[in-house]
Amino acid sequence: MTLFDGIYPFYLQQRKVSVFDVSTIIVIVVFLTLTCSFLLIIPGIRGRARSYWTLRVLLSLVVGVVIVAVQFTGDWETGWVKANTSYKSFSRAMVNADIGLHVGLAGVNVTLMGNPVNQINETINYNEHFAWSFDADYDHIYSEGLERGLPSPILYVAEKFTTQSPCGMLRQYRISSHYASATLWVAFCTWLISNMLFSMPVLVYGGYMLLVTGAFMIFSLLSFSTVRNSLMCPIQFGTATLRIGYGGSFWLTLAIGLLCFVAGITVVSLHYFNLDLLKTFFDLREEKAEEYQEMTEVYVNPHFVNKGLSLSPPSKLNPNKI
């Protein structure tokens, strides 16, 4: 890089939101559309079944949207630190800024925000994404960041995840995230199967599939948590240290996984101990009502009614008057 009017060149680039991106927004919009569509038809359901349908559908949609959305979020692990640090390479200019690290299943986001935002005649507000999925080249993306002249704190944090780094964190994070994502997609498939089974009179199997869904969500968390087995290199900015911990997506996945366990155990328990209540909740007691409706009138032989006094053709009587 060469100086231009005493300032090192920084080029415009595409930014990525640290927690939500376009894919996450699309997933949320799709599920919100399904929710709104259901709310439009819910007034047509009568009686207590309306409340049961609303509860079942909304809970199911919440589980589905979380399973898909956390695939694209970037806050499985997060960390922030406030420090005085150099802003550019080969420059003594120091800035006071918040440096953030946001780890997702597809890559890592590094955030740099000045305190205040405007310092040394520049706007310090960066958020850069470095992908590490198997179809992405992390080292190449990092090299592009060097060529664009990203601020030194961002490059310093991103360098910790390169293959040349002695930390060796890239391989562990890439493998753990890959298997966590794969198990979540399996959980999404079992969630679809559970909804199909709940629409048929095989409720207990739907409960079993909910348990399987919860199990795969927990497996994804265990897979991602294996990154803790590797030695985490310290990220130092002077005397300040950037420390990361589990973020919102991790705890949200855990909560929904436990919810699937509770719902599955409840369905299976009711199947064996109170089947009538389970059928009522899933609105499957219409068969008995149809049987009662079919026997609205009967044919009675008056010979037996009049104790055989006379034989006459059978007459049609209302069973309510007998």
User: Pick from 105, 96, 72, 64: which is nearest to 237 by CA?
Assistant: 96
**Is the separation of the CB atoms in 284 and 206 below 8 Å?**
no
Q: Which residues contact 35 (CB under 8 A, 6 or more apart)?
A: 57, 58, 61
> Which tokens belong to 162?
């390169």
Q: Please state, in angstroms and rounded to a whole number, the distance separating the CA atoms of residues 190 and 211.
A: 9
The CA distances from residue 166 to 85, 163, 231, 248, in Å, are 23, 8, 10, 29
- What pLDDT, on the 0 to 100 scale, is given for residue 55? 86
Q: Which residues contact 215 (CB under 8 A, 6 or more apart)?
A: 257, 261
Q: Which segments within 105-153 are labelled E, that is strand?
A: 107-119, 122-131
**SS3 of 234, please?**
coil
- What pLDDT, on the 0 to 100 scale, is given for residue 189? 95
Q: Please state, in angstroms and rounded to a whole number, the distance separating the CA atoms of residues 231 and 269.
A: 44
283: left (phi over 0), alpha (psi -120 to 50) or beta: left
User: Pick from 122, 67, 121, 114: which is nearest to 95 by CA?
Assistant: 114
Peptide bond connecting 116 to the previous residue in cis, omega within 30 degrees of 0: yes
Q: Give 265-311 as a DSSP string.
A: HHHHHHHHH-HHHHHHHTT--HHHHHHHHHTS-EEE-HHHHTTTS--
Q: Which residues contact 39 (CB under 8 A, 6 or more apart)?
A: none
The CA distances from residue 205 to 31, 58, 68, 198, 217, in Å, are 25, 20, 23, 8, 19
- What pLDDT, on the 0 to 100 scale, is given for residue 291? 40
Amino acid at 83: A
Element (H, E) at 39: helix 22-41
pTM of the full structure: 0.78
- What pLDDT, on the 0 to 100 scale, is given for residue 5? 43
The CA distances from residue 226 to 172, 199, 229, 255, in Å, are 8, 38, 5, 19
- What pLDDT, on the 0 to 100 scale, is given for residue 288? 44
Q: Please state, in angstroms and rounded to a whole number, the distance separating the CA atoms of residues 50 and 281.
A: 10
Q: Please state, in angstroms and rounded to a whole number, the distance separating the CA atoms of residues 167 and 176.
A: 16
What is the Cβ-side half-sphere exposure of residue 149, based on CA atoms within 13 angstroms? 14
Q: What angle do CA 164, 101, 216 make, to 5 degrees?
A: 90
Which residues of the chain fall short of a pLDDT of 70?
1-21, 44, 47, 285-322
Phi, psi at 149, each rounded to 5°: 75, 50
